[in-house]
Amino acid sequence: MRACVVGAGVVGLNTALELQRELGASLDVTILADKFNEETTGDGAAGFFFPSTYFAGPSFDVTKQWIRDSFDWYNSVCWSDQGRAAGVGELTGYFFSNESRGKVWNPLMEGVCPEYRDATDEELQLLPGGARFGSFASTLLVECRYFLPWALNRIQAAGGKIQRRCVTRLDDLSEDFDVVFNCTGLGAAKLCGDYTVIPLRGQVYKVTAPWIKTFTCFDRDTYIFPNRNQVTVGGSRWLGNSSLEVDPYESASIWERAVRAVPSLQAARVQRQWVGLRPYRCPVRVEADKAQREDKLTIVHNYGHGGYGITAAPGTARYAVKAFKDQHRAGVGSSKL
């Protein structure tokens, strides 16, 4: 069978990797995309593995399974000889809030992180002026500037093909492919006529601050994440805003909040500011298209992850591939898959 993955962001490449892991030689895999590596939204992402409590699949149990599957797979890469090349590493740090414990505790991560607990009284004093609530987490960092090219190389080494192509209609792929995995993020709004996919604008600083080794999050939207060669300082969530221009007022707000949480940032050197549009949909769409098609093309959707594509991509990829296998077996009976 001929499979096509449309989209080469972190969701698309994880889907292609899962196809090759799960189905191997029974499938030819081709990736079609108009943007790769540093051209994608993932290039500016901090890479922090941690979902928001508003990240939602079809049910809480399914959503948590996505997160667990993702963590387990990234963690296996982290501890393999490929961890550094793939940009996957350990990261520890703190969530702080003066509002409520709900601001610092996420049930989606309970039982997933190797260590996840309430902050001690002493740790609550790490924030200037102290904090009323806090939690400590040992999680992962997945830096797309390393992960995406590593994944592409892995896909090609396993026989996958890569084509730079702008897909404007999924129907146009029916002559060349038997199944299409739609991992187009924001592009799905126009491609599928799904206007519940909304841009979620984010703005961050990338700075040089090698002394920062642990992450700090304060009331979710103020965060400092140490990456391999820089520190990501954010952030913002502007739902429905599609501007890619750096907003100077948002810049000032981000920096003031971050320095208040981590005063040593005042000595950091700013490398650049970056704006990205995250594809938000509630719930995330991961399903086989149920429409009956005369051309027999199978379409499986996997998009709408918002700012949590990195966190959930391996899990939703597994779910999407299973949806394809289930539909294929139901349709043909004695499937080879």
Is residue 184 a known part of a binding site?
Answer: yes
Distance of CA 74 to the CA centre of its chain: 12
Q: Which residues of 107-123 are buried (b: 16+ CB within 10 A; e: fewer)?
A: ebbeebbeebeebeeeb
Is residue 94 a known part of a binding site?
Answer: no
Is residue 306 a known part of a binding site?
Answer: yes
Is residue 89 a known part of a binding site?
Answer: no
Is residue 307 a known part of a binding site?
Answer: yes
Is residue 304 a known part of a binding site?
Answer: no
Is residue 195 a known part of a binding site?
Answer: no
Is residue 232 a known part of a binding site?
Answer: no
Binding residues: 167, 184, 223, 278, 306-311
Binding residues for D-dopa: 223, 278, 307
Binding residues for FAD: 167, 184, 306-311
